[in-house]
Amino acid sequence: MTLLAVDNLTVTYPSRQGPQSVVRNVSFTLGRERLGIVGESGSGKSQTGRAILGLTPLPGRATADRLEFDGIDLRAASPRDWRALRGARMSMVMQDPKFSLNPVMTIGRQLAEAARRVASGRADARDRAVAMLEAVQIRDPARVMAAYPHELSGGMGQRAMIAMMLITEPDLLIADEPTSALDVTVQIEVLRILDDLVTQRGMGLIFISHDLRLVSSFCDRVLVMYAGRVVEELRAADLAQAQHPYTRGLMGCLPRIDADQRPLPTLQRDEAWAR
């Protein structure tokens, strides 16, 4: 079943040299599964995620032949339509909780604010917030509810943000480098929470990351982006048999614990990949 269909998505920014496309003709469909978008900095992976939510910052423009979420044409969505969709049915987890949580509101108030959309009253919103914090494996939800963002560690803040995005039980979650600011052991815990949500609630997940190895072990399918373009789409399990030289180069240049290869193979970029 298709939850999201994207056809020929292009994001363009004006510049002195004329319009620059940072995302070019990206097409994919998403069911209730984990889709990874991988690429290096500047490849357009985050811009793709933002464009789906209609969050391309001005003066940028996102255009597409088709941008459909659960049968709703997002290209023609009015501000009112967007308000009904964002947060409630599709939401986004950002990279760094330090910059994405409101620093002058307690976690509890921020969570309750999100929960008000679905809760029957203030007390219910609070109960839902506590339950959601427990669901993301926060052991002491009462303390976290009363805490301000600066009083939490990076891992806790990220879990609080995931809780906030999930409290409305969205159908689609876009996670933009949700674990890059976290330690490896905490990273695995956060991924486990996301994984449970996909398998138990049937949520669709777009997981944006620069970490090819992590994505291949976590997602079902992977889109590899280079210079704003999808250069390869493949099943995560088949990553070792990747065809495109960029994907193979990215895999090859990572140092490995159990292989002693020196010098490391470096990526020889080909002009043709960007075309």
Partner 1 sequence: MPLIDISDLHVRFGPVHAVRGVSLAVDEGEAFGIVGESGSGKSTVLRAICGLAPTSAGSIRIDGQTLTAPRPPAFYRRAQMVFQDPYASLHPRHTVDKVLSEPLAIHGFTDREARVERALNDVGLGQGFRFRFPHQLSGGQRQRVAVARALILEPKILLLDEPTSALDASIQAEVLNLLDRLRSERGLTYVLVSHDLAVVAHMCERLIVMQHGQTVEELTRAELQAHHAAQDYTRNLLAASEGFTRAAP
With tokens 């303390």, the residue in question is 143
Which C-beta is closer to partner 1: that of 134 or that of 183? 183
What is d(CA 47, CA 60) in angstroms, rounded to the nearest whole number? 10
Which C-beta is closer to partner 1: that of 54 or that of 154? 154
Buried b (16+ CB within 10 A) or exposed e, 14-30: eeeeeeebbbbebebeb
Buried b (16+ CB within 10 A) or exposed e, 67-94: bbbbeeebeebeeeeeeebbbebbbbbb
**Contact between 201 and partner 1 (CB under 8 A)?**
no
What is d(CA 89, CA 191) in angstroms, rounded to the nearest whole number? 21
Comparing CA positions, the residue from 107, 112, 183 lying closest to residue 149 is: 107
Interface region with partner 1, contact rule CB under 8 A, candidates 17-25, 132-140, 168-176, 216-224? 216-224
Interface region with partner 1, contact rule CB under 8 A, candidates 86-94, 105-113, 122-130, 245-253? 245-253
What is d(CA 221, CA 215) in angstroms, rounded to the nearest whole number? 9
Runs of H (alpha helix) within the chain: 45-52, 79-85, 97-100, 107-115, 122-135, 141-146, 154-166, 184-201, 212-218, 245-252, 271-274
Which C-beta is closer to partner 1: that of 126 or that of 213? 213
Number of residues in contact with partner 1 under rule CB under 8 A? 34
Between residue 107 and residue 166, which ones bind partner 1 under the rule CB under 8 A?
154
Residue 203 C-beta: closest distance to partner 1, Å: 16
**Contact between 250 and partner 1 (CB under 8 A)?**
yes
Identify the residue among 212, 224, 225, 231 touching partner 1 (CB under 8 A). 212
Residue 242 C-beta: closest distance to partner 1, Å: 14
**Contact between 245 and partner 1 (CB under 8 A)?**
no
Which C-beta is closer to partner 1: that of 35 or that of 191? 191
Buried b (16+ CB within 10 A) or exposed e, 120-137: eeeeebbebbbebbebbe
Residue 10 tokens, joined = 């292009």
**Contact between 183 and partner 1 (CB under 8 A)?**
yes
**Contact between 254 and partner 1 (CB under 8 A)?**
yes
**Contact between 263 and partner 1 (CB under 8 A)?**
yes
**Contact between 264 and partner 1 (CB under 8 A)?**
yes
Interface region with partner 1, contact rule CB under 8 A, candidates 80-88, 102-110, 164-172, 181-189? 181-189
Binding site for partner 1 (CB under 8 A): 40-41, 154, 183-188, 191-192, 195, 210, 212-214, 216-218, 249-250, 253-258, 260, 262-267
